[in-house]
Chain A
């Protein structure tokens, strides 16, 4: 599956308090969470972002708390994918569980803010103006989990059997 979208660049260590500040965590409605995504450093982001856009991060994207509200907020804005040099462990699991696609690749020096890039999610090939980059393969176990429809669908099937 291929996605094409405009990039939004963020730096290293984008933490979950930036992605969705804790004061909004009493909300579970994805729409409300999306409206406050990245608020502390980019308050206009939720208004300006368009469906299919791609977030580019540096090291340790999603560090901090276990709040699943973080990938929910990003996905609620219609972001198709987050590509970062590395991801924090809990955020990585949560994104898969919430159906937000992630790829590991270092695009911070390659891509300009707002540049349109094309990504083949199955091969991990990223085509940007300056170069073609192949993302680190998604662990086989995670691919299997995605093919099962995610952890919750897997569990649902298991309970029905």
Chain B
């Protein structure tokens, strides 16, 4: 029996010829990540164990992206602790201020993850880097402390589920629509503990930005990781980003899968996940009666260049509806600068949008766009749980950037074709 990409990467990092689903292994890690919410707990544990140093100062990453620019005194104190730790242990990859972006957009952009890596992060959306052909998964602060100190992690080798994606992408249908469709189909625990592997002609045709979006939401189906084989697009994306050795793994033809799904993307339209689960998915055209108060275009799911490009194309020469706030959050300083150069900022400002600095902010109801009781948002983020963006009686609808931008113009959930 052959192995999947996930099994091959894990075997290599556990110095084994072969691993099987269900097996417990101790793997070497290439990177351990934490942010301003999860790092403080990791550092408390670091002190408790009496560690004297991190296993490799090049391989521990802190990104202060959640409650920053600091939303209150407590958040500022947390960031201060992480900053002091990073200075003391000379952590190479410490990101804050004008270098800081949303972690899962920032790390690939900065070349910190390469194909074939094992990455653990104290953030559930760490699964994003699977788009590069790396094994990456989220875990808690304590597991990250163990990784920071030992350079290792214990893992149960996951079973794999394959999604073969065929067909041609209709206009305005992107990675977000596909992953929402998949979560709607298999449910929020449909891939519980499993690796979600994506392949097929429709995946080859897909941009890296859309692949990041898909891998990012593997956790929303309960997945341990999402993974793509690195191809020419991955290699082109990686060019000039990292000097580290990378390795491209491919699943064997006789690898074992728990389930195999085939999806023709040509049959998909723009999708929206209704409150309060990412699996509550409907076609955008069924929801045109739903009025909205706020639009958020950003996050680790959809705050990349392709997303801003789609939003700009739709918002060009248009106006955000009265009484609607449309918040645009470029995910990293590089994306921010590029969007500015391309003239998107002018488009957004003319339309009446707010342009936020890179932050996770409103996605988790932290700051920069918290909802009041009874308010409703459509967002390009990843979770629409009860109270996710603010008051427990507020609501979040999840969509791709094109639907979100069209909705901003109409003041209700709208399809891109209605405004372009």
Contact = CB atoms under 8 A, between A and B. Distances in A.
B192 interface: yes
Interface in B16-69: 24, 37-38, 40-41, 44-45, 48-51, 66-67
Contact of B192 (A26, A86, A152): A86
Interface in B310-363: none
A16 B44 CA distance: 21
Given A66-B139, A155-B49, A40 B41 contact: no
Interface in A11-67: 13, 15, 17-18, 21-23, 25-28, 39-41, 59-60, 63-67
Nearest to A157: B49
B74 interface: yes
B143 interface: yes
B388 interface: yes
A94 interface: yes
B193 A89 contact: yes
B387 A40 contact: yes
B391 to A, nearest CB: 9
Interface stretch (B82-90, B144-152, B166-174): B144-152
A97 B143 contact: yes
A17 B41 contact: no
B111 interface: no
Interface in B218-252: 219, 222, 224
Given A17-B364, A60-B222, A66 B38 contact: yes
A21 B37 contact: no
A130 interface: no
B72 A60 contact: no
B37 to A, nearest CB: 5
B154 A64 contact: no
Contact of A151 (B143, B388, B392): B143
Nearest to A154: B146
A23 B75 contact: no
A118 interface: no
B140 A90 contact: yes
B386 interface: yes
A15 B385 contact: yes
Contact of A63 (B37, B121, B189): B189
A151 B41 contact: no
A60 B24 CA distance: 22
Nearest to A43: B392
A143 B219 CA distance: 26
Contact of A159 (B49, B78, B189, B385): B49
B416 interface: no
Contacts of A21: 365, 387
Contacts of B121: 66
Nearest to A145: B154
A88 interface: yes
Contacts of B138: 66, 90
A27 B36 CA distance: 11
A66 B140 contact: yes
B140 A59 contact: no
A112 interface: no
B366 interface: yes
Contact of A17 (B189, B222, B224, B388): B388
A93 B193 CA distance: 12
A66 B126 CA distance: 10
A151 B46 CA distance: 12
B49 A156 contact: yes
Given A21-B387, A23-B366, A159 B38 contact: no
A82 B20 CA distance: 30
A85 to B, nearest CB: 10
A68 interface: yes
B44 to A, nearest CB: 7
Given A93-B140, A93-B143, A40 B392 contact: yes
A37 to B, nearest CB: 13
B122 A66 contact: yes
Interface of B: 24, 37-38, 40-41, 44-45, 48-51, 66-67, 71-72, 74-75, 78, 121-124, 126, 138-143, 145-146, 149-150, 154, 156, 188-189, 192-193, 219, 222, 224, 277, 364-366, 370, 383, 385-388, 392
23 contacts: A15-B383, A17-B386, A18-B387, A22-B365, A25-B66, A25-B67, A26-B67, A26-B71, A63-B189, A65-B123, A66-B38, A66-B122, A66-B141, A67-B37, A68-B38, A68-B122, A68-B141, A86-B192, A88-B192, A139-B156, A152-B145, A156-B48, A159-B50
Please name the 7 residue pairs, one residue from A and one from B, whose CB atoms are nearest each other, closest first: A94-B140, A26-B74, A22-B364, A40-B392, A97-B142, A40-B387, A60-B189
Given A39-B392, A68-B140, 7 more contacts: A17-B385, A18-B387, A23-B366, A23-B370, A28-B40, A89-B193, A152-B146
Interface of A: 13, 15, 17-18, 21-23, 25-28, 39-41, 59-60, 63-69, 86, 88-90, 93-94, 97-98, 139, 141, 151-152, 155-156, 158-160
